[in-house]
Amino acid sequence: MAVASAEPGGRGARDAPGVRVEVIGAGAVRHGDAAVTGLALGGRRARVALAALALADGPLPADRLAAMIWPDTPPPTWPVALRGVIRSLRAALEPVDAGGQRLIVTTPSGYRLAHDASVDLDQMEESLAEAGAMAAAGRHETAIAMAEPLTVLDGGLLLPGEDGAWLTPHRARSDALALRALELVAGSAGALGDHHRAVAAGRGAVSASTLNERAHRVLFRALQAAGDRAGVVQAYEACRAVLAEQLGVDPAPETVDAYLAAIGSAPAGGSVGPRSGLTARVPQPSSAFFDREAEAASLAAALREPGLVTVTGRGGVGKTRLVTQVARAPATAAALSGGRLWVSLAAVDRDEFVAAEAAMTLGLPVGTEDAAALVAGLLAPLGRAMLVLDGCEAVLDGTASLAASLLAACPALTLVVTSRVPLAAEAERVFDVAAFPPPGVGGPDEIAASEQVRLLADRVRAGGGELAVDEAAAPFVAELCRRCGGLPLAIELAGAQLAVMSVPDLLDHLAGLAKDGGDRVRGIAQSSYALLDPDEATVFRRLAVLDGPATLPFLREVVATDPIAPVRVVRILRELTARGLLSVDRSGPRWRYHQDDDLHRMARELLDAAGETGHAMTRLADAVSAMLPTEAKTPPEPYLDAINEVLAAVRTVLGAATDGLLPPGRGLDIAFRLHRYWAASNVAEGRFWLSRLVAGAPPGPAAAHATYALGYLGYWAGDTAAAARDLHAAAEQLAGQDDEYAARALIYLGGLADDMDRGEDALGYVRRAIDAAAPFGADLQVGAAMGMGCVLAERGRQEAAWFAAEAIVLCRRAGSPEQLAATLPTAAMVCWQVGELDAARGYVAEATPLLAGSRRIARVVLLSAAAGIALAGGDGGAAVEFAAQADADARALGIDREIPLIRCVLARARLAGGDVTAAAAAAADAIAAARALAFPYPMALCLETAALVLLDGAGHATGDGELADAAGRLLAAAELIRDRGDRPGPVTLSGDVRRARVAAARHTAMALEPAAAAELGVALLATLSAAVGTDQPC
């Protein structure tokens, strides 16, 4: 007989009015706390019948059900036998009140389950869909918790031992669920930075479904996010091999694309920072590597020790090639667990730009900060890492200065510099790369075996030819190598020319190149250049304005102008590549073209000599400008990736405008149109360029707009004084003009005046902004109305919610979907601040799908508001997830002004969950973030939060009087800040503070100045955290 049992995880009657049927595993039927499981359901036929009915889409005809139960041949009296199976199964279900017709219903068309019955496989699918929604909303921890139990699903657990064909689609469905769950876990774990968990999920997907290419793609993406480029390559090779061996096919195009994308965007040395990215990776080798084994081994040994190693040698001797070979070697990777990074300085011609170029290549914010300190701050925690500064001869002083700063701050760093001459820095180890020795004077075999001739032959083969080294040709080949001076680049250039002429003819062509002395690379490159037709020579020169690799579409925009038609560019590039005057990186989904540093310098000199620099730079600026939206206010998402692809060219254009190579107005216009891009990618880099362009700009609309953009980015960076100065200057310059950016400047000035506790000034600015916005479109009017809502919300005035609602109504009526997505989060924040939680929840729910998967300021505000709303609703887990994601995104984007509030909500959510140690850490981090801002009021919330944590600690530790007294002093200091700015604080966070004031009232609370209160708070939070962790008295 069946056994009724109460089991953990059973669904109670109130939770599931119907019955739950489980088809995965031994099989079960549950109702409330009772269950009939396994053999208690009956024999094999009963369990097959139950699973078949549970998996059917509707009523199952009797003959089909019989065929499932008796897959070979049903008995002659199968109708009677089938009724007996159903009758026995119904009897077995009586103990869970599912007997008779209550679960298995007889219909005219067959049998079916009752409508209110649920099936575990269906519920798993619903749960996975909900987990996906959680991930899209940024609640990755919840998504993982929901999806991870589903990763162990296996189609073989569905009626194990049965092999009926009808089970195949259902087992495939189970396997697909498991794969989707693993994919979701990998993605969410990667978003949280838990790359070990993400890669484990990817490997689990491949292990569970070896021939499913989607599983392999999950692993590629996880390894890419972890920065394990070598792992991506190995995973692809394993995928290709298993498909070839078991199916006899190659990977599908989608799999190849996923692989190429992964190896094209993962840093070669592993992920070392939030935005170190593509431009800082060790480059792919561009040519063969011959007979440098001894030098490579010696350099590898030098790189295993921390300190400065300068690799020197003549131009074209192969310094960069040698360092690339050693840096990419597995042994080097193993010795440098902190990663390997590469910065090219070949395009930098001023010493003061060296540190800034390094920081920006590494994806670090620059702005007005010390760029060298920023780079050191990235590298110091990495331990045994390597940074290569390539091509430094034009900026030796700047490189030496950066090297000194880095080595002082990063004792475990290996810093490699390539230059034609040493830096002459302290403790510098100089590694000189010598030219290849000349070929021997023996017979053809000895000459053919020399390093130079082997490299020459390889280059000739790459061009489709074959180098003959016989009795007749050997002397000419040896002479050609001697004329190349043993320089690999010169040999490769000469080899490229042998595709169109014999060795003796090439020697005649190089008659002007002296046998000894002179610049061999330049001489042979000039001889190759002389063979170009006029159009090819023009393209070669124009490539000089492209610093860094460029894809074909962008390159064509730069070089194709009269008399060169765009359709001829591909052929010309092929010719330049064949002659060795241009290199191609074929490792990514798009080929990327670039010139060797020596050839790049030669091209620039030729461009200058031809008087074409201004024209070529204008073409480059045109190409960059064409990628930008005409309206600077356009959200950046549509062009974000395109600008990232050509960021080196953008920097070249802005640098040219700074140096006077482009008209000032051109640089100002491009920088202004980039300000939304910088807001979504790197606020500080935008401030870096705008501050330099604005400094020397003549008055006019272009300067005013760029000044507005500088103030806009300063606002989001939390630099209140600078932002107010710049926005005020922009508003004054545009006063009286029909220009919407005057109104935009006034909107932000209202917010800044609010930051500086000038409430009446803030309201005045916003009222002026509302008037100024009236002639313009809905987007500006929405901004002005929302600006008023923000100012009023900071003062706790309920009418703030009305202005927010008006802004949303106007946005829905006349605004764009993009504006609605950007405005809803601010409306949610305003309503949360004044306690209108229902409205706030509605705005969050509407905004969440609009901003899913994006990384922009609006999403940071959305996550912050969602965290506060969750905390107010008692959902501490959701509050922690939202706040943690908001904090990560805000730091990545440089949105410093939002961070103190986010961390305060995180600390209170941790405290509500009973994790005093984590709450103390978050409160201390909040104080640190508030200290970094130029305006004081965020410190009030941070001090209040710290006081709440200390009071909670006082209730659990001895010495509680000291903690309570300190909490009272922090609360008193916070009250002083609030009184100065008429800021009562968010309504939803104020209740706990009022109760804390009452609790601390019996202790003497002498108010401190904010700076002293912050120091006291951080010190006591650290003490409390240590005491809680060791169960010691405070």
Long-range contacts of 436-441 (CB under 8 A, 24+ apart): 436/291, 436/481, 436/486, 436/487, 436/488, 436/491, 437/486, 438/478, 438/481, 438/482, 438/486, 439/477, 439/478, 439/481, 439/482, 441/478
- Which DSSP helix (H) or strand (E) runs through 476? helix 474-483
DSSP-derived 3-state class of residue 839: helix
pLDDT at 840 over 50: yes
Report the alpha-carbon distance of residue 668 to residue 665 in Å, rounded: 5
The predicted model gives 893-917 an average pLDDT of: 90
DSSP state of 815: S
Q: Any idea which residue has 């507005």 for tokens?
A: 708
User: Would the pLDDT of 370 be above 90?
Assistant: no
- Cα–Cα distance, 93 to 82 (Å, whole number): 17
- The whole-number pLDDT of residue 799 equals 93
Q: What is the pLDDT of residue 229?
A: 66
Q: How far apart are the first and last CA of the chain?
A: 62
175-189 pLDDT, tens digit per residue, is 889 989 999 999 888
Buried b (16+ CB within 10 A) or exposed e, 557-593: bbbbbeebeeebbeebbebbbbbbbbbbbeebeebbb
pLDDT tens for each residue of 275-313: 344 456 787 665 666 667 888 899 999 998 999 999 998
CATH number of 629-774: 1.25.40.10
Residue 806 has a pLDDT of: 92
**CA gap 403, 300 in Å, rounded:** 20
268: confidence class by pLDDT, cuts 50, 70, 90: very low
Nearest to 830 by CA among 794, 866, 863, 871: 794
Q: How confident is the model at residue 610 (pLDDT cuts 50, 70, 90)?
A: very high
Q: Which two tokens stand for residue 186?
A: 């990998």
Q: Which residue has the higher pLDDT, 16 or 41?
A: 41
Nearest to 315 by CA among 487, 510, 526: 487
Structure tokens at 714: 């300063």
905/927 Cα distance (integer angstroms): 13
What is residue 16's predicted lDDT score, i.e. its pLDDT? 35
Contact residues for 846 (Cβ-Cβ < 8 A; gap 6+): 824
Structure tokens at 613: 């620099």
Q: What is the dihedral of CA 53, 54, 58, 60, to 10 degrees?
A: -10
The set of residues, in sequence order, having a beta carbon less than 8 Å from that of 445 and lying 6+ positions away, is none
pLDDT category of residue 378 using cuts at 50, 70 and 90: confident
- Of 548 and 79, the structure prediction assigns the larger pLDDT to 79
Core vs surface per residue 103-121: b (16+ CB within 10 A) or e: bbbeeeebbbbeeebbbbb
Q: What is the pLDDT of residue 892?
A: 75
For residue 587, what pLDDT is reported?
63
CATH code that applies to domain 534-622:
1.10.10.10
User: Is the distance from CB of 959 to CB of 1034 less than 8 angstroms?
Assistant: yes
The model's confidence at residue 588, banded by pLDDT at 50, 70 and 90, is: low
More confident residue, 514 or 179: 179
Question: Contact 721/758 with Cβ under 8 angstroms?
Answer: no
pLDDT, tens only, 617-662: 999 999 999 999 999 988 887 887 788 778 888 989 999 999 889 9
* Confidence category of residue 274, pLDDT binned at 50, 70, 90: very low
Lowest average pLDDT, out of 239-243, 321-325, 798-802, goes to: 239-243
Lowest mean pLDDT, pick from 101-105, 261-265, 743-747: 261-265
- pLDDT for position 757: 78
CATH architecture of the domain with range 122-265: Alpha Horseshoe (1.25)
Pair type for strands 385-390 and 414-419: parallel
Output the pLDDT for position 136: 81
- The whole-number pLDDT of residue 1011 equals 86
Looking at residue 666, what is its pLDDT?
94
CA distances from 329 to 185, 229, 324, 499, 767 (A): 32, 13, 9, 32, 63
**Residue type (1 letter), 198:** A
pLDDT, tens digit (0-9, with 9 covering 90-100), for 442-469:
788 888 888 778 888 887 887 777 888 8
Please give the CATH number for the structural domain made up of 20-116. 1.10.10.10
Highest mean pLDDT among 349-358, 703-712, 730-739, 883-892: 703-712
Among the ranges given (296-305, 325-334, 405-414, 532-541), the one the predictor scored with the smallest mean pLDDT: 325-334
Domain ranges in the chain? 20-116, 122-265, 284-432, 451-513, 534-622, 629-774, 895-1030
Bigger pLDDT: 631 vs 16: 631
pLDDT score of 645: 78
**20-116 against 284-432: fold identical:** no
d(CA 851, CA 138): 10
pLDDT in tens, 969-999: 899 899 888 888 778 889 888 888 888 887 7
Domain 284-432 coded CATH 3.40.50.300: yes
Percent above pLDDT 70 for the chain? 91
Residue 9: pLDDT over 70: no
Residue 18 has a pLDDT of: 76
pTM of model > 0.75: no
On whether the CB atoms of residues 396 and 419 are closer than 8 A, the answer is yes
Give the model's pLDDT for residue 959: 47
What number is the average pLDDT over the span 739-764? 87
Judge whether residue 541 has pLDDT over 80: yes
How many residues in the chain? Answer: 1034
| Mean predicted lDDT score pLDDT of the chain | 84
Give the number of other Cβ atoms within 10 Å of residue 879's Cβ: 25
The Cα–Cα gap between 560 and 569 comes to 7
Q: Tell me the mean pLDDT in the region 425-435.
A: 89
- The whole-number pLDDT of residue 1026 equals 76
Residue 670 CA to residue 322 CA, distance in Å, equals: 39
Question: What is the arithmetic mean of pLDDT over 918-930?
Answer: 92
Q: Examine the pLDDT at 1028 and tell me if it is beyond 80.
A: no
The H or E element spanning position 85 is: helix 78-92
Angle between helical axes of 597-609 and 520-530 (0-180°, round to 10): 60
Per residue in 154-205, pLDDT (tens digit) is 888 899 888 888 998 999 899 889 989 999 999 888 887 788 889 999 999 8
